Structures are given as structure tokens and as C-alpha cells.
Amino acid sequence: MADKIKVMIVDDSALVRQVVAQALASDPGIEVIATAADPLFALQKMKVAWPDVLVIDIEMPRMDGITFLKKIMAERPTPVVVCSSLAENGALATFEALAAGAVSIITKPKVGLKSFLEDASNDIVQAVRSAARANMRAVRATAIDRPKLTADVMLSAGSNRTLERTTDQVVAIGTSTGGTQALEAVLTKLPATSLGIVIVQHMPEKFTAMFAERLNSLCQIEVREAKNGDRVIPGLALIAPGGRHMMLKRNGAQYVVDVADGPLVNRHKPSVDVLFRSVAKFAGANALGIIMTGMGDDGARGMKEMHDAGARTIAQDEASCVVFGMPKEAIKLGATDQTIPIDNIPAAIISYGVGH
């Protein structure tokens, strides 16, 4: 007989742990090797026995499920099934979980949980079986084995001379883990007359369009997934499509975006470094760069190029970041003019447009 699929259940609800474990125990090919009430307990148990599949909640004490998921994918990519009441279709938590590497999502109801989990036991078993077949080697190859390319593969750096200031300004934002909530917090507070904005949020293909549609329904400004040749104009935010790089270009007196395929840069596509380098090269001192919550260092070097080209540069502060990786690396490079809490970023964008 083939080896059983070893599963760990991580959820702060004892009822969920019990019912999910019972559902999985009904399949002779699955073995629940451990349960844990939060990710820190889970990590201790995983030192002893690493599961083939994890079933996790999103809302948990001491470490949320998305951060836990990112940590697992960075250290040892493992199939993860998210089982959460937050993971409704179109919800931010769903985008976050899929962007972080979850292979399957099961939405728990907020009421009638026990009967739902019992009724959905077959769905849970099938989700675990499918997850066990996921090609995590591809994730590992993406994250670890491939060379970490720089923005040089997409466009050359600009000259060090500062571009002249004009009346056309642009705002460039880069973010990753925690960025879906962070972007909503910032963009929903901007007036319809806000400066044109270009954004890279690390997210897989197909999800950026849905994410942009959601933001568009909440914001005074228009928000949409960027298409090649789109103009950057006041009152519009363009989000780089998942699986494509986005670069700012100058077309006469106008800014437009160039959406193009290419290799991963800093192991990401879209890459913040690619966007920021293009902004440094074609907008220079006519740009405001903002780097927000995210794991890793994508965007740090690009922000330094923006800073050196005369752009104003801002990092989100540690206290308001879900993960203080990207802003921290930019600060370490001397790429930032100031570090501010997320609540102050909308005002910084507005005042830049007024005072520039």
C-alpha cells in the first residue's frame, strides 16, 4: 500500500480541529499526524515531523495564517489548504492566501460550523488529496534554485542626472505580503483628483484583475489592471497584471505603461524593482515612490535609483507593516526620505500633488 498522506491541522478552534480530523480519518489513505492551536505550536511540532499537507485557518493567535503560509513557502514549500470563514469568494483574505501559495481554499460559514464541516467532509478529503499532488517542486525551483535576476534583464538604468521637474507627476507604489489590505487602506482615502498611480502588488496571474475590480468598487479614484499602452493620468491607479512586468515610459509629454513578459526579477513577476527603475529613468524628480509591507527586498534597489534621480521616497513604518522586509531593505540602502505609518500615506500623496 502506498504511504499515507500525512496531514497537520492548524486552527485555534478545538471544534474545527476535531471535526476536520474526523473527516480526514474517514479516508484510509490519509493520516492526521498532529494538530495545533496556532502556527507557533505547529512550527514546534513540524521540527519533529513535517506533514505532506497543512490545513490552516487565517485568523489565529500569535501569528496569522497568511504570515505562517509565507514562512512555510519561504522555508520548505508544502501544500496548504486554507479553511477559513474569511476566505469568501472575492475577499481580500482569499487573494492573500492564493498569492502566498495556498493550493486550495475552503470557506467555513460563520454559523452552523459543525454541521457544515460534517457535510463538507468529502470536500475536505478531496482538497487534501488534490493538495498532496501539487507540484511544490516548481515553487521550490522558483523560490530557491533560479538565479535572482535584477532589473537589468528588463531595462537599463537611467543616467544619474536629475530630470527636470514638470507639471506631470506620478506616484509609484510597491508592496507584497499584507499589501492587499495596505493598498485598500491607502487608495480608499484618495480623492478623485489624485495624481496618477502605478502599482506593483506581488500576486499571481488572474487575481490582479479581480483585486483591481474590488478596489475600484471601493475608491473614489478609478482602479484597474494595467494594459500595455495605458496612459497614467490623474484619478487613475494602474495595477501591474500578475505574471507580467510593468514599466513607466514617456510618450511625448505623456506617461504610459509598458506591460511586458520577461524573466522573474528578484524572483517576482511583476517586480517592484522593474517598475521603480523605469520611474527613476523616465520620471526622475517628477515622481513619488512608496514602498510598503512585504517580505524580501524587491523594490529596495529600484527605490534607491528613484531617490538618486531626485524622486521623493517614502517607506511604510514597521509598526503598521504586516511584514517589514521590503521597507526595511530600502531604508538600509539609504533609499528613503522618510518612514511613516500607513495612516499618513494618503495625506503624503495628496500633499505631494499639491506642493510639487
* Crossing angle for the helix pair 92-100 and 207-218, to the nearest 10 degrees: 150
User: Would you call 110 exposed, middle or buried from its count of C-beta atoms within 10 A (0-12, 13-18, 19+)?
Assistant: exposed
DSSP state of 200: E
Residue among 11, 38, 298, 317 flagged as catalytic: 298
Cell readout for 26 is: 474517514
Residue among 104, 121, 176, 271 flagged as catalytic: 176
Q: What would the pLDDT profile of 69-125 be if each residue is shown by its tens digit?
A: 988 888 888 989 988 876 665 566 777 787 777 877 887 766 676 777 677 788 888
DSSP state of 343: G
Helix (H, G, I), strand (E, B) or coil at 31: strand
Q: What would the pLDDT profile of 34-51 be if each residue is shown by its tens digit?
A: 999 999 999 999 999 999
Structural domains of the chain, ranges and CATH numbers in brackets? 5-145 (3.40.50.2300), 158-355 (3.40.50.180)
| 356 annotated active-site | no
Neighbours of 121 (CB within 10 A): 18
| 298 annotated active-site | yes
Full-model pTM: 0.70
Say how far apart CA 223 and CA 284 lie, in whole Å.
24
Residue among 11, 52, 64, 202 flagged as catalytic: 202
Neighbours of 123 (CB within 10 A): 15
Cell readout for 254 is: 505623456
| 115 annotated active-site | no
Q: What would the pLDDT profile of 168-204 be if each residue is shown by its tens digit?
A: 899 999 998 778 888 999 999 999 999 999 999 988 7
pLDDT for the residue 229: 96
